[in-house]
Structure formats: C-alpha cells, structure tokens
Amino acid sequence: MPASEGSLAATAHPPICLLSDCSSTLRRCSFATMNLYRRLRAHWAPSLLLDGVFAAAIFLTISAWQTRNLLPSGPATVAPAISLTGLDGQTYTLEEVRGRKVLLYFFAPWCSVCNLSAHNLEALYADAEGGITVYLIAIGYRSVAAVSDYRKKHNLTMPILLDDGSVARDYNIAATPTYYVLDEAGRVAHKSVGYSTGLGMRLRML
C-alpha cells in the first residue's frame, strides 16, 4: 500500500544540517597550533607539501570528530536490519540485497548540503551497473509530499525510503547528510558525515 502522510511521521527531533559544521569544528583548533604552522611554513622550503599535510590533518580530524558517535566500521559491526516503505509503496530491506554493496544515505529534504549532494548520488546510482544498491533514507521530513518534491526537483530515480525515526536511531544519526557503506555481508565498511564528492563516494564503495 503506498506510503501516506498519516502512516509515516517525520522524526520528532530533526537532525541538524551540516552546512556550517566544519567551520564550528575548525574554531576548535588551538592558537598555538596555528602559530607552529606559520613558523614551519616560513622556514621550510617545500611549503606546498606542508600545506598538503596540514590540510589532510585538518580533514582527518574533522572527519573523526563528526563520525565519533556513529556505528563503528569494521568486520565486527553488522548493520542493523532495515524494513522501510519507499515513496513507491514497496517495502525495502537489507536482507534482499545481501551479496551487494549498499550505500545508505540519510537525508532531509530541507537540508542544504543534502540538496547539493543529490546530483552526486544520482550519478553514482546511474553508474552502478547493478553491483551497488543505493538507498536514500528520508528523515526529519515535514511531510511525504516534501520528500516527493525533493525527488522531483533533482530527478532522482533511486529508491527513497521513509523513516519515522526508528532506523535513524538504530544508526545513531544526529545530522544530515550521513551515509554508511555496507559490504556484501552487510557489515559497516565506511561512514561519513557532511558533503561528499562523487569521487569520494565512489572510492568508499571500492
């Protein structure tokens, strides 16, 4: 039976959208660390290499902080079961796609970063050639119509699942967008919070 606004409620406490999360995290960098960086850069000839190392360190630090409360990745973590109704009225589970890699992308229609990422997701889904399953999981939505409008706005063809908040809780989702990559055995292989490029998502699916 098709999903309806009355049968699927939005998350009671909508997650935040990570448009400015990185900037707030960067403010956590200490003044002493920045001074050390300036001194090293002034006296070390290959400054471009230093810039690259410093940027990579910042990126890894931010990524680790953003994902600290998510499910751990590794062979010991089997993803929680999912059984959700999609916009098309069908029921989707992880069990039916066992043996394939799966991208679970938690989003909210009103989230600015989620809107920026929509094209990357559709391109990944179109290029998957049957070896990858992509599930968009809507959370924190005001109505089913809002989710449908999001799909139409971005011309999305992949399944969009409607969560009432229970699956988001199982996956410790506190912000959008957040996504998990599951391996063929249904274990958590990768996780990420915030904007990801198409290349970044593809590399995590390898």
pLDDT of residue 35: 66
Burial of 163 (0-12, 13-18, 19+ CB in 10 A): buried
The CATH number that domain 83-205 falls under is 3.40.30.10
pLDDT of residue 11: 46
Find out whether 192 and 60 touch, Cβ atoms under 8 Å. Answer: no
Please say whether the dihedral angle defined by the alpha carbons of residues 102, 107, 113 and 117, taken in this order, is positive or negative: positive
pLDDT of residue 66: 58
**What are the sequence ranges of the domains in the chain?**
17-66, 83-205
Torsion angle in degrees (nearest 10) through CA of 150, 123, 68, 50: -130
pLDDT of residue 26: 47
pLDDT of residue 126: 87
**Residue in this structure with the two tokens 């599930």, named with its chain if needed:** 135
Burial of 64 (0-12, 13-18, 19+ CB in 10 A): exposed
Find out whether 138 and 107 touch, Cβ atoms under 8 Å. Answer: yes
pLDDT in tens, the chain (206 residues): 444 444 444 544 556 665 445 445 545 555 556 666 566 556 555 555 655 565 555 545 555 655 688 999 999 999 999 999 999 999 999 999 999 999 999 999 999 999 999 999 999 998 876 678 999 999 999 999 999 999 999 999 999 999 999 999 999 999 999 999 999 999 999 999 998 888 888 888 87
CA–CA gap between residue 85 and residue 168 (Å, rounded)? 14
pLDDT of residue 8: 45
Burial of 173 (0-12, 13-18, 19+ CB in 10 A): buried
